[in-house]
Amino acid sequence: MPSLMKRFVVGTGRCGSTLLSRLLDQSPEMTSLFEYFNGLDGGRRFGLQPITGAEFWEMISQPHPFVTVVISRGYSVEEIVYPYDKPSSRSRREDDLPWILVSMLPRLSDDPDSLFDQTKNFVLAQPARLPRDHHTALFDWLAAKCGKKIWNERSGSSIDYLGQLRDNYPDARFLHIHRSGEEAALSMREHAAFRLAVSLVYRVYPELDIGAAFAHRTPPADPTADPFRPILEGRPPIEFFGRFWSEQLMRGYRAIAGLDRNQYAEVRFEDLVARPHETLRWIAEHFEIDAAADGWIDRAAALVRGAPRPRLGDLPPAERERLSEICSPGNQLLGR
């Protein structure tokens, strides 16, 4: 079943895109595919040479070391929904989990391990083609498995590689959901996986030998010898998270310039949670899905629990001022 239109939800981390994907998944026409592209090797996910089904499967089923580091140490991450504690599940928290089992497949089935096996069989039977075409063939197949005819893909921090998405899917439509930079940054600091990512990107702990640390992803018997302990237990300065947020947006906005007006739209997280019915009807129009079908917007709006409590006011004045200054370039791009 061919995709007549590719649809992507993009954003920074902690911008509300997970909630939006859950709401869009209420549509009887559309299935939401969670956290797919951001866990794939950035140098391979949109390679320029055809690859076999086996090569494609190897790429999408690789474990992500961040997941093992965080989950094996007992931290919960809301995007990671694989049912580790279910007796019938194959994987446990100390295991390396194949990437597509982290979030995408468990959102589509109550038996993600079985769907994983079916997905493997489907992918291995595919002819050699460009990675971008493998991705869309997989998305079309998953949507059909869910009884839907269209899909949207959404990954955290995807605004960072919007240029890759645009170049590979030049006729796609993109919806950019965004949130106040200060609140997004503060939410990132409370999120174990983002603490790890940001700390490594900016070498917050320069004494850490990253290669050696990731060679032993599960925690050692002696907790004091765990190289990831200070990162996951600590609270790096908030300016690193503000910088991470702003730099993602600046890279994304360079790509937006290459999109036609009807391909790209923006929505504020604050509007989504304050006026879900109105906002979802507007999004449905942009993505060309039926807003009236089966009362899905009413069901979706019922999932909204309001805006999270603002955190910016909790910071000391000097820290608050520093964060707002660092977030200013990104906020200006967003018209905030």
Q: Hey, what domains does the chain have and what are their CATH numbers?
A: 7-41+131-333 (3.40.50.300)
Would you say residue 3 has pLDDT above 90? no
For the segment 46-52, the average pLDDT, to the nearest whole number, is: 98
**The pLDDT value given to residue 288:** 96
Confidence (pTM): 0.96
CB atoms within 10 A of CB 260: 9
**The pLDDT value given to residue 249:** 97
For the segment 69-93, the average pLDDT, to the nearest whole number, is: 96
For the segment 315-324, the average pLDDT, to the nearest whole number, is: 97
For the segment 176-194, the average pLDDT, to the nearest whole number, is: 97
Least confident range of 63-77, 208-222, 287-301: 208-222
Q: Quote the CA–CA distance of 73 and 56 in Å, as a whole number.
A: 30
**The pLDDT value given to residue 211:** 85
Confidence of residue 81 (pLDDT cuts 50, 70, 90): very high
Confidence of residue 202 (pLDDT cuts 50, 70, 90): very high
Main-chain dihedrals φ then ψ at residue 268, nearest 5 degrees:
-85, 135
Would you say residue 322 has pLDDT above 60? yes
SS3 of 111, please?
Answer: coil
Confidence of residue 2 (pLDDT cuts 50, 70, 90): very low
**The pLDDT value given to residue 216:** 82
Would you say residue 1 has pLDDT above 70? no
**The pLDDT value given to residue 215:** 85
SS3 of 308, please?
Answer: coil
Q: Quote the CA–CA distance of 307 and 170 in Å, as a whole number.
A: 34
Q: Quote the CA–CA distance of 157 and 135 in Å, as a whole number.
A: 19
Under DSSP, the state recorded for 86 is: S
113-170: per-residue pLDDT in tens? Answer: 999 999 999 999 999 999 999 999 999 999 999 999 999 999 999 999 999 999 999 9
